[in-house]
Structure 1
């Protein structure tokens, strides 16, 4: 009888333990559900940083998955992706986005060691366009680096906003230059920053002139092989009273991946040679002055 009673007690105890475990599990699930429903929604810039982080972990994200995770509409996520794509930080795909795939475009270091004499001539002429005391925006590039070196060598007094570390370092050699570096996402192959933070920073400033490079220029306008740079250049063009395009003659007639703007967005083109007749006529119609660095 005693043994029977102990067996029954044991079964009741086991059932009680199991019931207790089930209750604890249920409470945990309820707690998770409450956390998901009550946690604060991410702000716009936080969502976009999460999207970029996700693309570092896997090559593709879907709009529907992101909308569920962020508890926002698909249209909100779509706007996030469009903005990140415009800033050159991801590639749009059907129903989502893809991580950027590095192309075969030469790195900054590779470009800086090619056609040095031509780039120096362009940089010297462009430096003489800058008036003492002016505010400037200078983007990243091997030709704009030569411009920065001549500005420093001449001791030209100026305030420069740039996304390029080599440009900033070159101008930093001059006591007359005040250098401001954009915040943003660091691009090691270019020693420069790109992205939403950089574009938004540029939009908060207005300058007398910008001096930018490009991967190519054709009748449609200047274009850029590094997508993140295209957004930077567009921002600089918008915020400048005068815009100069520094480009070597081998890039005339070339069309690269991302369109920077129209020919009319540029005040002058500084190059080591004159463009071919067709492009020269288009530049003239757009009232763009061509300066040839001899």
Structure 2
């Protein structure tokens, strides 16, 4: 287990249990007590937990892990999902992308597609996003016309949220939007943990002719605080091969095409 994986696991355990002890967690993660102390000190410095004598207790933000820690979870699955989803985009399309680790993989796959080369005077694709990290990666790609929505930056996800972003989206029409979600269910639809993200993600979906949810199988059947859109608004779900046949059946019965990679 590398350091980022260990830090991520520590935060997840802390979010679940509320408190951890150094000796106990060192044994559980097969690491030395000194290593765990350094990890806890590092996370405390990031204001992600509160150190106690012999351990740590959960800080509120631990329940919403920053993107840099989320990126190590299901990394291989997210890369496969991103590549498969990017293949759905035709040259000349206007593409919407919200923030998240899986949509970041979609953006990377789009930027490196061999059949979307830069041609002088032409735009291969236009990307509209509220994600600062995706904007940063695509800004240097000459074949991509990049539009940022504007808004107030949310540090955990690098997403721009709030009414400033909605003003721009109200004026645009998208061919396809890729939505990263915190949860998706065939009954309740797609959802996010933060209401501000859900609001602008809802508009990204509403402005698109086609909505594709990109989510690894751990997000299926879960729940989150704020609704993004109903399942009737989702055209395609791209997920990984660990999604069960029963889950696939429930989505297809609601009119959603499911792709497992």
Query: Quick check: TM above 0.5?
Result: yes
Question: How many correspondences in the alignment?
Answer: 193
**Cα deviation, residue 109, structure 1:** 0.9
Query: Is residue 146 from structure 1 mapped to residue 105 from structure 2 by the alignment?
Result: yes
Q: 59, 70, 87: which one pairs with 1:111? A: 70
**Cα deviation, residue 274, structure 1:** 5.5
Query: Is residue 247 from structure 1 mapped to residue 251 from structure 2 by the alignment?
Result: no
**Cα deviation, residue 118, structure 1:** 0.9
Matches of 2:202 and 2:239, distance apart in 1: 20
Query: Is residue 200 from structure 1 mapped to residue 167 from structure 2 by the alignment?
Result: yes
Matches of 2:102 and 2:140, distance apart in 1: 18
Tell me which structure has the larger Cα radius of gyration: 1
User: Cα deviations across residues 42-98 of structure 1 (Å, max 9, x unaligned)?
Assistant: xxxxxxxxxxxxxxxxxxxxxxxxxxxxxxxxxxxxxxxxxxxxxxxxxxxxxxxxx
**Where does residue 237 of structure 1 map in the other structure?**
205
| 1:209–1:241 CA contact under 8 A, matched in 2 | yes
Q: 223, 228, 236: which one pairs with 2:191? A: 223
For structure 1, which runs of at least 5 residues remain unmatched after alignment? Answer: 1-100
Matches of 2:206 and 2:80, distance apart in 1: 27
Matches of 1:270 and 1:139, distance apart in 2: 15
Structure with the higher strand share, 1 or 2: 2
**Cα deviation, residue 285, structure 1:** 2.1
Runs of at least 4 residues off by over 6 Å: none
**Where does residue 180 of structure 2 map in the other structure?**
213
Give the secondary-structure state (helix, strand or coil) at the position aligned to 1:228. helix
**Cα deviation, residue 277, structure 1:** 4.5
**Where does residue 133 of structure 2 map in the other structure?**
166
**Where does residue 279 of structure 1 map in the other structure?**
247
Q: Provide closer, same or farther for how the CA distance between residues 168 and 120 of structure 1 changes in structure 2, counting only shifts above 3 A.
A: same
For structure 2, which runs of at least 5 residues remain unmatched after alignment? Answer: 1-59, 117-123
| 1:274–1:290 CA contact under 8 A, matched in 2 | no
Give the secondary-structure state (helix, strand or coil) at the position aligned to 1:259. strand
Give the secondary-structure state (helix, strand or coil) at the position aligned to 1:189. coil
TM-score by length of 2: 0.70
Give the secondary-structure state (helix, strand or coil) at the position aligned to 2:167. helix
Task: Kindly report the root-mean-square deviation, in angstroms, between the aligned alpha carbons of the 2 structures.
Answer: 1.6
Matches of 2:246 and 2:166, distance apart in 1: 33
